[in-house]
Structure 1
Amino acid sequence: MKKWIVILLAVAIIGGGAFVYSTRSANAEPLEIGATAPDFTTSGALAGEEFQFSLSEKLKDGPVVLYFFPKVFTEGCTIEANMFAEATAEFNAAGATVIGMSGDDIEGLKKFSVSECRNKFAVARADDQIINGYQVRMAPGLAMTNRTSYVIDRQGKIVFVHSATKPHGHVAGTLEIVKALAKAD
């Protein structure tokens, strides 16, 4: 079955289509495949060092995996960050950049980028404008995101969405898509 999904995915991407797997959160509907990803600039952290992250600038280098997670140092978010860290070399080999997004403050993100992201990929601050733009608010009134992963192609279009409360599936799904995009280029 997995082989057929990969074949259908490759055909969809090469043919200009897109593929989505989504187990959507009851609290928010993520952006749709084909939508233009909202551009933003925000504070980020990589290996404990703060920097400014610009989506439009990073897309010049290739596709971006933008994954939203609820809270640093919680069990599910730690598991997910560790899985993304383990797969960072594969994402890089496919020409993609991974960046985790959370409503946490920059000091917490700096620590998380070292310990849980293992200095392999960046995490950045999702403010209200970003949370609303990507439709990932955990619940009304909370500055927390749900767990949603997007793959954004070089043209700034969303080509994959995975929204699920469990951390498993986010890395595998986004990695398959970026590998298929690399083959299509």
Structure 2
Amino acid sequence: MLIITLAAMIAVPTLAAAPPVTMLKPGTQAPDFTLPATLVGHDYTFSLKKALAKGPVVLYFFPAAYTSGCDLEAHTFSTHAPQFTKAGATILGVSENSISMLNKFEVDPNFCAGRFPIASDPSGSIGALYGVKLYPPMNGAMTIHGQTITHGFFARTTFVINAKGKIVASMSSAQNHISPVQHVTGSLTIVQALQSHKAQ
């Protein structure tokens, strides 16, 4: 499985050399941002501020499209997308993949299926604002789905941000050892609880 192989190849040298990363904690104001994104195959600019005007946002960072864990996570978000919508929440996936690769991944019925946007953070700057661990590019050429990959890889990390812009939950596979599916089901439970609390 590529994700496991990828982690095994890059984690050991990275952990020794990289400075410690502090992931933003619940109660922290979520940093505002805009990113180039794609939805149903169309490019646009995603604005966190605009999304929060509609309700909570589930912001998830993933290593790379077309790798096993990320494929599973995207597919699971897509199958649960109607439940997130019912809870008033917007989903956004973010990786360092190029927007051209994400365009294909986002519309693929096996992955995002055009049900939620994904965005490109090629410099890793937005991930850094959120304290997401970033593994550096692998040594040598790496090809995924016909594209040579030279970017870094975010550790799988999810933030649930309420409509007021506060982070109410954060999950990290690197720290909490949770599966891609648990990122989806865990964040869904949280946004449903937010909706229930709002209705009271």
Q: CA deviation at 1:168?
A: 2.5
Q: Which stretches in structure 1 are left out of the alignment for 5+ residues?
A: 1-25
Q: Distance in 2 between matches of 1:43 and 1:77?
A: 19
| Shift, 1:144, TM fit | 2.0
- Residue aligning to 1:122: 117
CA distance in 1, matches of 2:164, 2:76: 27
Alignment of 1:32-181 (within 5 A): 32-115=25-108, 116-126=111-121, 127-139=123-135, 143-165=152-174, 166-181=179-194
RMSD: 1.6
CA distance in 2, matches of 1:28, 1:45: 28
Q: Which runs of 5+ in 2 are unaligned?
A: 1-14, 138-150
CA distance in 1, matches of 2:40, 2:194: 28
**In 1, are the aligned partners of 2:136 and 2:153 still within 8 Å (CA)?**
no
How much does 1:138 deviate? 2.4
Q: 1:137, 1:143 within 8 Å by CA — same for their partners in 2?
A: no
Displacement of 1:140 in angstroms is: 5.4
- The DSSP-based 3-state class of the residue aligned with 1:169 is helix
Residue 23 of structure 1: aligned partner: none
Question: What is the TM-score of this pair, normalised by structure 2?
Answer: 0.76
Runs of 4+ in 1 over 6 A off after TM superposition: none
Sequence identity (%): 41
| CA distance in structure 1 between the partners assigned to 2:101 and 2:172 by the alignment | 24
Q: TM-score, normalised by structure 1?
A: 0.82
